[in-house]
C-alpha cells in the first residue's frame, strides 16, 4: 500500500456541507483523488454511506460520541449538540456492521469526562470491555487524541496511561499529529514510540508561531486560524509520514478542523501537496 494512492479525508472537515450539499461535496472529494473516508458522526452513516459507495470511496472508520461509554450524555447538551435517539453501544456496533465500517473511534473526551491518572486507568478498563465487544463483532475499537492527553500528570500522561492499561489486541489509537505537535511534543518520536498501537494517522498543518497548549477546546474557539492545510504550516510531513510507514500505520486521513475558505479547496490543496509538491508518501 502507498499512502499517496489511498489518502483519506475525515468528513468533519466538510461538516457544514453534509446537508443538501452532501452529494456534490462527496463527489468533489472523490474527484480530488481521495480514496478513503472517515465519518465524524456515526449517526450519519445511513445518509452518507450510499453516497460514498456511489463515488468509490471506502468508508474505513467512524467516530462515535464518548458518552456511549462514559454515559455522560448531558455533556452534549452543554456544548449545544443533540443527544441521539439511540444511546446504547449496541447501536455503534450495529451501524458499523451494517455499513461495513471496520474501525470505530472515540474522537475525544469532553472536559467533564476527564480526570486524574486513576480516572484514566478506570477509563482504560472500560475501553478494554468495549474493545472486546468490538472484536467479537469483527470491529476495531480506537481512541483519537487531542492535546490534553499529552499533558504531564503524576509522572506520566493520560495518553501513556491509556496505552499502558489497554489491551493491544482490543484497543488501538488514532494519532493526530497536529495535536501532538501543538503541545511541543515531536510527532515523529511519538509515532516511533507508540507505532504498533496506532491504526490511523490524522494529519493537518500547524501555523507558524503558535504557542503551545494542552487545550483543544480553547484553541478551537479562540484561535481557529492555527489549523492549516497540509503544506501551509510548520509540520515536517516527510518525516511524519516516513515514520508512519515504518510503523505500518494502516490509514492516513486529512482532517482540517477549521479552514479560512471553502473546506473542499483546503482538502484539494492538502492532497496536491502530499501527492505532487510534498513528500513521496510510501506505506507498507
The residue-averaged pLDDT of 209-221 equals 92
C-alpha cell at 128: 478494554
C-alpha cell at 279: 513528500
3-class secondary structure, 156: strand
C-alpha cell at 160: 501513556
Q: What is the pLDDT of residues 102-148, one digit of tens each?
A: 999 999 999 999 999 999 999 999 999 999 999 999 999 999 999 99
Q: What is the pLDDT of residues 183-195, one digit of tens each?
A: 999 999 999 999 9
113 phi, psi to nearest 5 deg = -100, 5
CA distance 52 to 118: 41
pLDDT at residue 238 above 50? yes
Question: What per-residue confidence (pLDDT) applies to 2?
Answer: 67
Question: What per-residue confidence (pLDDT) applies to 283?
Answer: 44
The rounded percent of the chain whose pLDDT value lies above 90 is: 92
Architecture of domain 3-277: Alpha-Beta Barrel (3.20)
- Long-range CB pairs of 37-41 (<8 Å, 24+ gap) are 37/8, 37/9, 37/10, 37/11, 38/8, 38/9, 38/10, 38/11, 38/62, 38/63, 38/105, 38/200, 38/253, 38/255, 39/11, 39/63, 39/101, 40/10, 40/11, 40/12, 40/15, 40/107
Stronger pLDDT, 284 or 99, i.e. the higher one: 99
CA distance 276 to 106: 32
The residue-averaged pLDDT of 200-210 equals 97
Q: What is the pLDDT of residues 38-73, one digit of tens each?
A: 999 999 999 999 999 999 999 999 999 999 999 999
CA distance 273 to 271: 5
Nearest to 198, CA basis, from 252, 274, 156: 252
Mean pLDDT over each residue of the chain, to the nearest integer: 95
pLDDT at residue 278 above 70? no
Band (pLDDT 50/70/90 cuts) for residue 1 is: very low
Domain ranges within the chain, ordered by starting residue: 3-277
Amino acid at each position: 500500500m502507498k499512502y499517496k494512492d489511498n489518502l483519506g479525508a475525515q468528513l468533519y472537515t466538510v461538516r457544514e456541507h453534509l446537508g443538501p450539499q452532501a452529494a456534490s461535496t462527496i463527489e468533489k472529494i472523490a474527484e480530488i483523488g481521495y480514496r478513503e473516508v472517515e465519518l465524524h458522526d456515526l449517526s450519519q452513516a445511513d445518509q452518507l454511506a450510499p453516497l460514498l459507495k456511489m463515488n468509490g470511496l471506502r468508508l474505513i472508520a467512524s467516530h462515535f460520541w464518548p458518552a456511549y461509554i462514559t454515559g455522560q450524555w448531558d455533556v452534549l447538551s452543554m456544548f449545544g449538540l443533540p443527544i441521539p435517539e439511540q444511546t446504547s453501544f449496541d447501536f455503534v456496533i450495529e451501524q458499523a456492521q451494517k455499513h461495513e465500517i471496520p474501525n470505530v473511534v472515540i474522537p475525544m473526551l469532553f472536559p467533564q469526562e476527564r480526570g486524574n491518572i486513576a480516572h484514566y486507568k478506570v477509563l482504560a478498563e472500560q475501553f478494554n470491555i468495549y474493545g472486546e465487544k468490538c472484536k467479537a463483532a469483527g470491529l476495531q475499537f480506537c481512541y483519537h487524541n487531542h492535546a490534553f492527553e499529552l499533558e504531564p500528570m503524576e509522572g506520566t500522561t493520560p495518553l501513556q496511561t491509556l496505552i499502558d492499561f489497554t489491551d493491544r489486541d482490543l484497543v488501538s489509537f488514532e494519532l493526530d499529529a497536529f495535536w501532538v505537535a501543538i503541545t511541543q511534543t515531536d510527532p515523529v518520536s511519538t509515532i516511533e514510540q507508540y507505532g504498533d498501537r496506532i491504526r490511523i494517522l490524522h494529519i493537518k498543518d500547524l501555523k507558524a508561531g503558535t504557542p503551545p497548549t494542552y487545550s483543544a477546546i480553547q484553541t478551537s474557539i479562540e484561535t481557529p486560524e492555527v489549523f492549516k492545510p497540509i503544506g501551509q504550516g510548520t509540520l515536517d510531513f516527510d518525516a511524519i509520514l516516513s515514520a508512519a510507514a515504518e510503523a505500518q500505520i494502516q490509514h492516513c486521513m486529512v482532517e482540517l478542523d477549521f479552514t479560512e475558505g471553502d473546506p473542499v479547496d483546503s482538502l484539494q490543496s492538502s492532497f496536491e501537496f502530499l501527492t505532487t509538491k510534498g513528500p513521496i508518501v510510501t506505506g507498507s
